[in-house]
Chain A
Amino acid sequence: MSETTTAPSAGGATRGQQLSSLWQGYPLIRHLVTAAIGLAVVIVVLTAVDDFQATKLTEMAYIAIAAGGLTLLTGLNGQISLGHGALMAFGAYTTALLYDDREVGTPLVVVVLVSVLVTVLVGILIGIAAARLHGPYLAGATLTLAIAVPEIGKYFDQLGGDQGLRLFVPEIPQWATDIAYYLTGSDPSRSKYVAFLAWVTLIVVFILLANLASSRIGRRWAAVRDDEVAAELAGIDLTRARVSAFVVSAAAAGAAGAMFALAQRTVGPLGFSLNLSLTLLAIVVLGGLGSLTGAILLSGVLVFLPQIVMDLGSGADLDATRASQMATLTFGLVMVLVILLAPRGLMGGVRALGLRLRSARAGRRTPPASGGSSSSGAAPSPTTDPASPSSTAETAEPDDGSTPITTKKGTS
């Protein structure tokens, strides 16, 4: 648990306020409940959709996993990375190398963990180099990474060259088939099985990321982002904070890469183009820097947008290539417009709305004398009495990641 949680409301608080403060004060409980609901939704949705949509959902899941890691790095720690697609490649190639034969019996969990581990090692190396760099120099280094890594795959024949590696996804284990049959009354298809794996991975990764973000480590990252000098004076080791943020986001990218490999069943240099890296960054920014929810939602938009534009386009006599070009064009335009009109992204807008509603509600309930609370739900002021029910439960949010992450000017 983090140090700055609010004490649960004492005495006279109503049951609703107690629940609410439990929700606000204990991020772990909040994240676990959200995850359980998420899992239920995933099961229901995957049962309902057809195989094609399941493949699309898998794609959404691995993109969201990588974007989640990047959210922490860029949104919380302020380091920009144009090369996260390259990190995914490390995870994907590792998975492909471990499953290069039909006979391999290595459990899936082990393979995914090894892929994550390999990516983490790469992430440590890059993170140490990146910790010294600022702004455009970091962008340049990671951009080059995005270009150079697929070339490694092309160069070495052991990595499959231009064609890439084929991998064999292990058979669906019997118990999984049994559970699926028990729940849905039919045997799971392969693509649904992979989709389920990807979404479970997503949920696990996002619980870990959300907890990290709301822990002491997450606050350190944010401190380094907001003001290096102040952070250093407060005793934070800048290099360590930067490298650890990079490593965590690399781990997420590794898991995403493993899911990519399982879903695509071939891993080649073409899968990890510069476009992938740029797309990930775009998702992070458009979702609202630092918002994990935004990262998931925007990944969905991104995966399903071309399809929607294509459907619209077929009505308007557009052929498939034209339509996909139009989809990309639309995406670029949206990026430009969002930065110009709503720089805090999707979740930034939602949060601003939520805060306004909440403070309006709090303003009605608390007498004006208790001040502060009616203006906005800002950071807790030290003078707030923790036992005063309405102020703790309604407005004074602990610094646990549920506060809006502002895009302050980071490093010079």
Chain B
Amino acid sequence: MLQFTNTALAGLVLGMIFAAFALALVLIWRSTRILNFAQAPMAVLTTYIALVMIEDGRPYWLAFVVALLAGLVLGAVLERVVIRPVEGKPDINAVILTLGLFIVFKSGAEVIFGTKLRTYPPTFGIRGIEIGDTTIGITTSDFFTIGAVIATLVLLVALFRFTDLGLKMRAAANNQEVAGLLGVKVGAMLTLGWALAAVVGSLSGLLIAAGGLVQPSYMDSIVVFGFIAAVIGGLESPAGAVVGGLLLGFSLSFVSGYLSAQLVALVALGILMTVLTLRPGGLFTATQGRRV
């Protein structure tokens, strides 16, 4: 029973991290119809910024905030300088571009920070919570992770549902031409979309790093799993990203807990193929008519 609880809790935390990463992908997909493969190495860069600050003796939470702001700036600059020219071009150009950025950022991080493993201090305690006599496998840091992702989701939903700015962003994403005619600054909205996504991506990077070891490739598995989570969810809806993340997190946790850690990728492939075979557009998409 204890093993079951612990596996489930581990799955919850893992799922939340996948969800955060998938949220970042969904944000960018919604605003620019581009899948950002470079999301993970971008997060690696900002995490390293925070790590270097902490190692220099700066306050922990200051480093945390600076990393998020660095993500904001990085996302905005990237959209404005590199992504803008390929918007509206064939899909494959954007795919190759972000794959190229993936390589640039990752090897850039290796050149700047080296490939040595470094410890990143945890946000809060890393001891399991004690209930009665037993210690269960969830820590205060894990609670912070879960809380941070839920807060992000709530803030994003609030932004898109209830604010003027969110409405403009949705308009710019849905129909650039009409939105532009109605006075929305489409370019600025797209830049903002990338910037926000990069902040969420950085957050997921920090959450994964906290209390663990960091090296330039530490996000590599998250690239794939976060991506699968987003695709399962349908790439369109933030809620879908969270559901996809949790679904994947729980399944993978149970597979590695009860079967073998090496089967994780295979099971992920199985889940993805099953979902896509039944619903080629993911779980949370309305069926779309095809333009003729």
Is A139 in contact with B35, judged by CB distance below 8 angstroms?
A: yes
Is there a chain B Cβ closer than 8 Å to A160's Cβ? no
Residue of B nearest to A131 (CB): B280
Is B264 in contact with A151, judged by CB distance below 8 angstroms?
A: yes
Q: Mark B254-282, 1 if CB is under 8 A from A, else 0.
A: 00000010111110110011001100111
Is there a chain B Cβ closer than 8 Å to A135's Cβ? yes
Query: Which of A97-105, A193-201, A277-285, A378-386 lies at the interface?
Result: A277-285
Provide the residues of chain B in CB contact with A289, threshold 8 Å.
92
Is there a chain B Cβ closer than 8 Å to A407's Cβ? yes
Within 8 Å by CB of B276, from A78, A133, A325, A331, lies A133
Within 8 Å by CB of A139, from B93, B95, B268, lies B95
How far apart are the CA atoms of A332 and B231 in the complex, in Å?
25
Is there a chain B Cβ closer than 8 Å to A88's Cβ? no
Seen from chain A, the residues whose Cβ lies within 8 Å of a Cβ on chain B are 74, 78, 80, 129, 132-137, 139-141, 143-145, 147-148, 151-152, 154-155, 229, 274, 278, 281-282, 285, 289, 321-322, 325-326, 328-329, 331-336, 339-340, 343, 407-410, 412
- Which B residues, 198 to 225, have Cβ-Cβ distances below 8 Å to chain A? 220-221, 224
Is A407 in contact with B104, judged by CB distance below 8 angstroms?
A: no
Provide the residues of chain A in CB contact with B231, threshold 8 Å.
136-137, 140-141
How far apart are the CA atoms of A278 and B106 in the complex, in Å?
14
Within 8 Å by CB of B277, from A129, A325, A407, A410, lies A129
Is there a chain A Cβ closer than 8 Å to B90's Cβ? yes
Residue of B nearest to A161 (CB): B262
Is B97 in contact with A340, judged by CB distance below 8 angstroms?
A: yes
Query: Which of B52-60, B68-76, B81-89 lies at the interface?
Result: B81-89
Within 8 Å by CB of B86, from A74, A322, A335, A339, lies A339
Provide the residues of chain A in CB contact with B86, threshold 8 Å.
339-340
Is B269 in contact with A129, judged by CB distance below 8 angstroms?
A: no
| Nearest CB on B from A305, distance (A) | 13
Is there a chain A Cβ closer than 8 Å to B227's Cβ? yes
Is there a chain A Cβ closer than 8 Å to B108's Cβ? yes
How far apart are the CA atoms of A133 and B276 in the complex, in Å?
8
Count contacts between A and B, CB distance < 8 Å. 139
How far apart are the CA atoms of A409 and B90 in the complex, in Å?
5
Residue of B nearest to A135 (CB): B91
Q: A80-B92, A144-B269, A325-B110 are in contact. Are A335 and B103 (CB under 8 A)?
A: yes
How far apart are the CA atoms of A331 and B110 in the complex, in Å?
14
The number of chain B residues touching the other chain, given as a range, is 35 or more
Is there a chain A Cβ closer than 8 Å to B111's Cβ? yes
Within 8 Å by CB of A412, from B89, B264, B280, B290, lies B290
Is there a chain A Cβ closer than 8 Å to B182's Cβ? no
Q: Which 3 A-B pairs have the closest CB atoms?
A: A332-B103, A335-B100, A332-B104
Is B92 in contact with A137, judged by CB distance below 8 angstroms?
A: no
Is A278 in contact with B99, judged by CB distance below 8 angstroms?
A: yes
How far apart are the CA atoms of A322 and B114 in the complex, in Å?
9
How far apart are the CA atoms of A139 and B37 in the complex, in Å?
10
Q: A137-B281, A281-B99 are in contact. Are A155 and B93 (CB under 8 A)?
A: no
How far apart are the CA atoms of A412 and B291 in the complex, in Å?
8
How far apart are the CA atoms of A38 and B148 in the complex, in Å?
60
Residue of A nearest to B235 (CB): A136
How far apart are the CA atoms of A336 and B94 in the complex, in Å?
10
Provide the residues of chain B in CB contact with A147, threshold 8 Å.
221, 224, 265, 268-269
Q: A136-B231, A409-B90 are in contact. Are A328 and B35 (CB under 8 A)?
A: no
Provide the residues of chain B in CB contact with A139, threshold 8 Å.
35, 95
Within 8 Å by CB of B263, from A141, A151, A331, A335, lies A151
How far apart are the CA atoms of A281 and B100 in the complex, in Å?
11
Q: A143-B224, A151-B264, A155-B263 are in contact. Are A343 and B280 (CB under 8 A)?
A: no
How far apart are the CA atoms of A60 and B104 in the complex, in Å?
23
How far apart are the CA atoms of A152 and B184 in the complex, in Å?
50
User: Considering residues A133, A155, A325, which has the most beta carbons from chain B within 10 angstroms of its beta carbon?
Assistant: A325
User: Considering residues A136, A274, A278, A331, which has the most beta carbons from chain B within 10 angstroms of its beta carbon?
Assistant: A136
Is there a chain A Cβ closer than 8 Å to B96's Cβ? yes
Provide the residues of chain B in CB contact with A136, threshold 8 Å.
29, 35, 91, 231, 235
Is A137 in contact with B276, judged by CB distance below 8 angstroms?
A: yes
Within 8 Å by CB of A148, from B111, B220, B266, B282, lies B266
Q: A140-B227, A282-B99 are in contact. Are A407 and B90 (CB under 8 A)?
A: yes
Provide the residues of chain A in CB contact with B35, threshold 8 Å.
136, 139
Provide the residues of chain B in CB contact with A148, threshold 8 Å.
265-266, 268-269
Residue of A nearest to B111 (CB): A325
Within 8 Å by CB of B108, from A152, A329, A410, lies A329
How far apart are the CA atoms of A407 and B94 in the complex, in Å?
13
| Nearest CB on A from B23, distance (A) | 16
Is A336 in contact with B111, judged by CB distance below 8 angstroms?
A: no
User: Considering residues B86, B100, B224, which has the most beta carbons from chain A within 10 angstroms of its beta carbon?
Assistant: B100
Residue of B nearest to A334 (CB): B100
Provide the residues of chain A in CB contact with B95, threshold 8 Å.
80, 139
How far apart are the CA atoms of A245 and B291 in the complex, in Å?
24
| Nearest CB on A from B182, distance (A) | 25
Provide the residues of chain B in CB contact with A331, threshold 8 Å.
103
| Nearest CB on A from B72, distance (A) | 21
How far apart are the CA atoms of A145 and B263 in the complex, in Å?
13
How far apart are the CA atoms of A334 and B104 in the complex, in Å?
9
